[in-house]
Every structure is written in structure tokens, then in C-alpha cells.
Amino acid sequence: MRVDYIARKVTLDDNFRQLTEKKLAKITKYFNDIIDMRVEVSQERHLYVVDLFVKGKDFDIKSTTQHKELTAAIQDGVDKLEIQARRAKARLKDHKGRGGEVRKVQDREVEGFENDPETTGPPRIVERSSISIKPMTVEDAILQLVKSSDQFMVFRNASSDLINVLYKRSDKHLGLITPEL
């Protein structure tokens, strides 16, 4: 494990470097593909400011701490990094381990997802909402839909007294659904 040190207004001795590398070894148990580790130490008035950066293949984590003692600042920074490393590891496991099968296609790995038991079967309603239906002309409905950020509008057509649906199409035009009786 290689650690780069940057010191501003502070001299770093070998004991500090050994302590830092010992503390940062905690992070290596979460990831085996760490590319770069950097420690920046500076002193602002009576506080030591420690910035820790760890860059990996699939993640970047960093922490900044301030403390009166240099070793306490390192410990706090490593603790913050460890929390972030746990979260990043959980995200990577969740993202990469979704139960898909991996197959080779022209020397490339492609991940295919198996059918999830929750997504198979008949479709189900996952959200319900109520809307008020106002009587208006088609022209008024067009003006209101264009002004709003909604994708559709349900209204009672004032001329026919029927429920109509006006919706935005992907080609930037509008569509109108009228019922047949």
C-alpha cells in the first residue's frame, strides 16, 4: 500500500507516517482494488487539518477532520473513511450482485438479470391518486397542459359533457382521448 503525503506548515516524522499507514490499513479490508491513497496535513492556527483521500477502481472516498492533536485528527479522519467505505462497499455489492447471470458475448462479459418474483405475474397498482375533473373546452385544456409540467390532463369537455384525456406525446405534440358511447 502506497500512501502519498502532503504537508503544509507541518513536519511529518516517521512515527506519524507509520501510525497513519496502520490506521489506513483498516480501509484496505473493504476494498482490494485501491489505486491511490493521499494524506494532506496542514496547520491552521491551533488546529491540525487532515484531509484523507482514497481512490479505487469503483469508488472515491474522502474525509476532512480538524483537531488540536495530530493523531486524534488522523483517527477521526480514518473513522469517517471507514464509515464511507462500508457504505461504498454495500452500494457496490448491491449494484453488482443483483442475482444476474453473467455470460460471454464476443469476449465481453454481459450481465443478464433473472426474472424477479416480484415483477412476474399480473401487473399491480403501485400508486393511487385522485384528480379533480373540471368542465372546460379543449382549447382551455391545451393551454393549461402546456403551462403545467404534467404529462396529461383529465377534464370534462364542456361541449359534449364527456370525460376526455389530453396528453403530451414524445414528439412534442398533444394527443386527445375521447370515449365512444
Q: Where are the domains of the chain?
A: 3-96, 135-177
CATH class of the domain comprising 135-177: alpha beta
Domain 3-96: which topology? Double Stranded RNA Binding Domain (3.30.160)
Name the residue with cell 452500494.
Answer: 91
Q: In whole angstroms, what is the distance from residue 74 CA to residue 88 CA?
A: 21
Q: Alpha-carbon distance 63 to 177, whole Å?
A: 55
Backbone φ/ψ region at 161: left (φ over 0), alpha (ψ -120 to 50), beta: left
Cα–Cα distance between 37 and 142 in angstroms, integer? Answer: 57
The per-residue pLDDT for range 1-50, each reduced to its tens digit, is: 688 999 999 988 999 899 898 988 888 888 778 888 999 999 998 999 99
Rounded distance between C-alpha atoms, residue 43 and residue 35, angstroms: 27
pLDDT bucket at 103, cuts 50 / 70 / 90: very low
Domains 3-96 and 135-177 share a fold: no
**pTM score, whole prediction:** 0.50
C-beta separation of 34 from 21 below 8 A: no
pLDDT per residue as tens digits for the range 55-79: 888 788 999 999 999 999 999 999 9
Short-list 127, 126, 138, CA closest to 162: 138
